[in-house]
Amino acid sequence: MFSRKYALVALLCIATALTLRVPAFAQSTNRQIGTSLTATADPVVSRPHLQPCVVPLFTNYQFAFFSQTAQNFSFNPPAGCSGPWQKVVLEINFSENAGRQFDRTASLFLGNNNLYFGTTPEPIHSSPNAWHIERDVTDYSALLTSGQQGTFVLANCTTDCGAPYNTLLNGVFTVSADLEFYPGYGKSPVPRTPDLVLPMVQTNSGGGINLPANVFQPTDQLTTTFNLPQNIEGAYLDVIAQSQNVDEQWYACFPNDLSGINEVYGCGNTDFRETEISIDGQPAGIAPVSPWVYTGFLPDQWRPIPAVQTLDFVPFRVNLTPFVGMLNDGNPHTIALSVFNNDFYFSMTSSLLLFLDSGSSQVTGTVTQNTLTLPSPAVSENLQGTSTVTGAIAVTSNRNFTIAGYANTSHGQVATSLTQQQNFTSTQTIDFDTVNGSVIDQNTSVQNSVLSSTTVSDNTGSTTTQELFSFPISVDFIAPVANSLFGFTVATSQKYQDSKLTLVNGHLGTYTAVTNAAQASDVQPPSSSQHYTYVDLKGQSYDCKIASTNNVLTSVSTGCH
């Protein structure tokens, strides 16, 4: 979290082959011009033209006190609507009363698998607010074929908060959720989905499970030891690492040797973070940490339009298929996740998605190549002055690695080769009066991308999937600003991009591209905008732009359908 001095000021001023599909995530909102209701440019999840079977999960759960943090519910599959399903969509409806409250983290688990993870907007002081979340959870269909226990987690407090917040905070959240099941008939084919969905779990001292899990230091891990079936032919891991507390704005952290001039954000270990995945202690994959920005930083900047994915985090999917030969050997195997350079701390969730070879009881194979190692970011400091410090701090982490393996399946040998290129660069440009605090200007620019190329070869030929993920962010913090609501101003820009192309025996198979960009500033008058686009080879497209001024929605483009 940015420094306690600025946090308290902000609070007191709260006013108003085996190829998995690209999962869809959405924040469907009212988009009412002239209002301060939470609005996003994100699309709704596309659905088949069929009547769904709807299963309510819970209705009007209320989160006012810490004692209500975890609300449990029971799920049973829809009667008379058995799978396989064309699509399954999770819907969550939130509302909050007019008042004062922090932004809060919310998450939904079924069978300890995470189906939703995000945060809430800070409330509108003068009127109630509501927003809607949708997720395509078809890939989790195997989890939904039998009864499951679920939990919705939202830690909130009002009169039970510690002083002085017990007299300041009165915001209460009310949440309802359901699942929509679209039957497996009609013109659209039923997709092949994972045969088994298994959660990564973290036990606590009381013998229970932490939902979500927490890792506090770089050496802390979310680990699970699995006893797996021996006919796995495809394996994937969905990963979310949410920054918390000191690491909330990790993308603006300083090297530890500069702690004496760490004026704004208060965090160390540089501004490079990354989730490291291992199997039985050996590196098995990476997941970039997304620079999500929560509405508490700052509410005047992110009302009514929140930052990219603030309400609904998109997990990063890691391909573990090169390791299936090892996973099938009949021995227990431990998968572990940690966050490189973790200062304090990250909340994490992860699920293991497995495809099984129905024609075999034993799939053998081996890992043939693994050049992945831990990152070693380079730091350069070009600073001048002592009482007044100016200059730039730069961090880079660039590497290439390949992980390959093969599996002997009932339909022949299948070889999988994954090559990734990870490129991280950042610059912190600062102008600090470290004595009087009369000038505090920190301009943060972080670029991070992962280019993946995966080739799957079997007796029918080869399929190559190329995916480019990037999520840059820039933040300019200036203090003091006399005419600012909070005494300082922040301008932020983000641009999430994810594109995927497949080539089948050298011929173009599929292509999808998503871009989600947002800009916001609380320089008076505060303003923000979001632009979301989607295209694919099937001719589907989406292009939506929205904008606000003075915390009121001012425009919605015609493409926001």
- Residue 6's pLDDT is 47
In a domain, 561, yes or no: no
Give the count of beta carbons closer than 10 Å to the beta carbon of residue 370: 17
- Residue 26's pLDDT is 63
Give the count of beta carbons closer than 10 Å to the beta carbon of residue 27: 22
In a domain, 59, yes or no: yes
Domain that holds residue 205: 4-556
Q: How far apart are CA 126 and CA 137, in angstroms?
A: 35
- Residue 186's pLDDT is 62
Quick one: DSSP state of residue 2? -
Give alpha helix (H) positions in 280-329: 324-327
Q: How far apart are CA 89 and CA 140, in angstroms?
A: 10
Q: How far apart are CA 145 and CA 439, in angstroms?
A: 59
Q: How far apart are CA 85 and CA 141, in angstroms?
A: 8
In 3D space, the residue among 550, 485, 555 whose CA is nearest the CA of residue 36 turns out to be 550
- List the pLDDT tens digit at each of the 561 positions of the chain: 344 344 434 444 433 344 444 445 566 667 999 999 999 999 999 999 889 999 999 999 999 999 999 999 999 999 989 889 999 999 999 999 999 999 999 999 999 999 999 999 999 988 999 999 999 999 999 999 999 999 999 999 999 999 999 999 999 999 999 999 999 876 667 889 999 999 999 999 888 999 999 999 999 999 999 999 999 999 999 999 999 999 999 999 999 999 999 989 999 999 999 999 999 999 999 999 999 999 998 888 999 999 999 999 999 999 999 999 999 999 999 999 999 999 999 999 999 999 999 999 999 999 999 999 999 999 999 999 989 999 999 999 999 999 999 999 999 999 999 999 999 999 999 999 988 888 899 999 999 999 999 999 999 999 999 999 999 999 999 999 988 888 899 999 999 999 999 999 999 999 999 999 999 999 989 999 999 999 998 888 999 999 999 999 999 999 997
- Residue 161's pLDDT is 97
In a domain, 87, yes or no: yes
- Percent helix, strand and coil across the chain, each to the nearest 5: 10, 50, 40
What amino acid occupies position 195?
A: D
Strands 316-319 and 148-154: unpaired
Cα–Cα distances in angstroms (integers) from residue 358 to residues 97, 161, 233, 409, 457, in the given order: 51, 53, 10, 10, 19
* DSSP, residue by residue, 36-77: -S----PPPPP--SSPPEEEEEEEEEEE-SGGGSEEEEEE-P
3-state SS assignment for residue 508? strand
Q: Give the tens place of pLDDT for each residue, 100-156.
A: 999 999 999 999 999 999 999 999 988 999 999 999 999 999 999 999 999 999 999
Q: How far apart are CA 292 and CA 155, in angstroms?
A: 19
In 3D space, the residue among 308, 290, 286, 202 whose CA is nearest the CA of residue 241 turns out to be 290
CB under 8 Å to 37, separation ≥6 — which residues?
Answer: 29, 30, 124, 129, 130, 131, 304, 553
Taking a C-beta distance cutoff of 8 angstroms, is the pair 451, 464 a contact? no
Q: Give the tens place of pLDDT for each residue, 36-72.
A: 999 999 999 999 988 999 999 999 999 999 999 999 9
> Element (H or E) spanning 409, and its range?
strand 388-409
- Residue 153's pLDDT is 98
Q: What's the pTM? A: 0.94
Taking a C-beta distance cutoff of 8 angstroms, is the pair 88, 222 a contact? no
- Residue 29's pLDDT is 66
What amino acid occupies position 310?
A: T
3-state SS assignment for residue 117? strand
Copy the structure tokens of residue 20: 């998995």
Q: How far apart are CA 262 and CA 505, in angstroms?
A: 53
Q: How far apart are CA 453 and CA 316, in angstroms?
A: 15
Copy the structure tokens of residue 536: 């694919």
Ramachandran sector of residue 365 (left: φ over 0; alpha: ψ -120 to 50; beta: rest): left
Cα–Cα distances in angstroms (integers) from residue 410 to residues 232, 233, 359, 365, 459, in the given order: 11, 10, 5, 12, 12
Count, residues in the chain: 561
Q: How far apart are CA 335 and CA 316, in angstroms?
A: 16
In a domain, 209, yes or no: yes
**What's the structural domain count of the chain?**
1
Q: How far apart are CA 110 and CA 152, in angstroms?
A: 9
- Residue 64's pLDDT is 97
In 3D space, the residue among 454, 201, 237, 247 whose CA is nearest the CA of residue 346 turns out to be 247
> Element (H or E) spanning 180, and its range?
strand 173-183
- The verdict on whether omega for the bond into residue 229 sits within 30 degrees of 0, i.e. cis, is no
Q: How far apart are CA 275 and CA 338, in angstroms?
A: 6
Strand ranges (DSSP E) for 310-357? Answer: 316-319, 333-340, 346-356
- Residue 485's pLDDT is 80
